Amino acid sequence: MRAHMEKDTLVVSFTRSLTASILETLEKDTQKQIFERGGFKGVTIDASNISEMDSLGINFIVKLYKELNSKGIEFKIIKTSRHIRQLFNLFKLTDYFKIT
**Domains present along the chain, CATH in parentheses:** 2-99 (3.30.750.24)
Taking the C-alpha atoms of residue 67 and residue 9, their distance in angstroms, rounded to an integer, is 16
Burial environment of residue 86 by CB neighbours within 10 A (0 to 12, 13 to 18, 19 or more): exposed
- pTM for the full predicted model: 0.89
How distant is the alpha carbon of residue 10 from its chain centre?
11
Measured distance CA(54)–CA(45) in Å, rounded: 17
16-72 confidence digits (pLDDT tens): 889 999 888 888 888 888 888 888 999 999 999 998 999 999 999 999 999 999 999
CA 96 – CA 26 distance, rounded (Å): 22
